[in-house]
Amino acid sequence: MTTSVPKFVCKLCNQEYISKLNFNQHVSYCEWIHSTLQSRNQHMDQCEKRLTDVQRDKLIRELITRMNSLEQQTETKMKRMQNEINLLKRTRRMRIIEWLNKHVQPTITWKQWLAAIPLHATHLELALKYSVYESIKMCLEDYLNTNKPSLTEQARPMCAFKQRRDFMYVYDEVIDISKSETTFAWKLIDRKEFNRPLSKMVFRLQNMYIQWRMDNLNHICQSEDNQDEDRRNSHKMMTATNVSNMQINTVFRAVHELINQDLEETIIEETTTTTTTTTTTDPQHELCTESTT
């Protein structure tokens, strides 16, 4: 018995065939399998029926309509989410202010409190050596480090919370336009409003420098070096009101770091103390168990 010897071999996969018909069918399939993606796509393009201009335009219009619809739905959802977030923030902010107005009653406003902080000759030396706002920062740090009561132990007219690093709460005059009267209450301020009373501290340092300069005028006039130094110091002190945002932020962060407290711990502790003496819970106390952003 004789064995059949393959006569046809595929060059792509080395598959062997005896029948030419089977071999030809295989080669056609094998060439398509081993062809590149690009040539395969080209082949499919040639086989597929092309869209007419009308069909293509209709397809494009449908895709554009769908895309616009999705964009509008996404935009609507984003606006709704943003409104909900803003409402939540306003609600939390108002609840904190309500809590402060009920439990913390300062005797002076925060502007009066800042104006009463003493400035000494050492602060003027720091202003001449570094900058006016650096001196103010150190002055506030020194004063706050020696006066560190808890929020409710002493009614300091400024407070801050770790959960809200960009804001402070201050006790200030509030004008009620409807009643044409001025009341005192807590309010929220940002860095820009924080700088306004600081400018009065700058003015106090400038007056201290003017008085110091008059007292030391003879010494200044003794040499050119002293006069050059006097010109530099005068320029530094008189242009101190041209403050940069970086300088304001530096003072703001330093004060915030010294007076901030944990929002939840501060008010939860007060709530716990209150609930031990009464069977009802004030709804305003529950506000601060929420984390603020």
Split at pLDDT 50, 70, 90, the class of 63 is: confident
Residue 87 resides in a domain: no
**Pairwise pLDDT comparison (182 vs 43), residue with the higher score:** 182
Considering the domain architecture, whether residues 140 and 22 belong to the same structural domain is answered as no
Please determine, for residue 150, whether its predicted confidence score (pLDDT) is greater than 90: no
Q: Under a CB-based contact definition with an 8 Å cutoff, are residues 110 and 172 in contact?
A: yes
- How far from chain centre, in Å, is Cα 202? 28
Please determine, for residue 180, whether its predicted confidence score (pLDDT) is greater than 80: no
Q: What is the mean predicted confidence (pLDDT) over 222-228?
A: 92
Please determine, for residue 103, whether its predicted confidence score (pLDDT) is greater than 90: no
Counting DSSP H helices and E strands in the chain, the numbers are: 11, 6
Considering the domain architecture, whether residues 135 and 224 belong to the same structural domain is answered as yes
User: pTM for the whole thing?
Assistant: 0.56
CB atoms under 10 Å from CB of 123, counted, come to 20
Split at pLDDT 50, 70, 90, the class of 92 is: low
Task: List the domain range (segments joined by +) for residue 19.
Answer: 1-34
Please determine, for residue 272, whether its predicted confidence score (pLDDT) is greater than 50: no
d(CA 152, CA 129) in angstroms, rounded, equals 38
Residue 173 resides in a domain: yes
The pLDDT value given to residue 31: 80
Considering the domain architecture, whether residues 227 and 137 belong to the same structural domain is answered as yes
Residue 290 resides in a domain: no
User: For 112-122, what is each residue's pLDDT tens digit?
Assistant: 999 999 999 99
Q: What is the mean predicted confidence (pLDDT) over 26-51?
A: 69
The pLDDT value given to residue 164: 80
Q: What is the mean predicted confidence (pLDDT) over 98-102?
A: 85
Considering the domain architecture, whether residues 222 and 137 belong to the same structural domain is answered as yes
Considering the domain architecture, whether residues 4 and 111 belong to the same structural domain is answered as no
- CA distances 219 to 80, 116, 194, 216, 227, Å, are 69, 32, 38, 5, 9
**Pairwise pLDDT comparison (283 vs 59), residue with the higher score:** 59
Under 8 Å CB-to-CB from 56, ≥6 apart: which residues?
none
Considering the domain architecture, whether residues 136 and 266 belong to the same structural domain is answered as yes
Q: Under a CB-based contact definition with an 8 Å cutoff, are residues 197 and 111 in contact?
A: yes
Residue 278 resides in a domain: no
**37, two tokens:** 């993606």
Number of domains in the chain: 2
Residue 43 resides in a domain: no
Considering the domain architecture, whether residues 244 and 133 belong to the same structural domain is answered as yes
Considering the domain architecture, whether residues 159 and 263 belong to the same structural domain is answered as yes
Considering the domain architecture, whether residues 121 and 233 belong to the same structural domain is answered as yes
**245, two tokens:** 């945002």
Considering the domain architecture, whether residues 121 and 27 belong to the same structural domain is answered as no
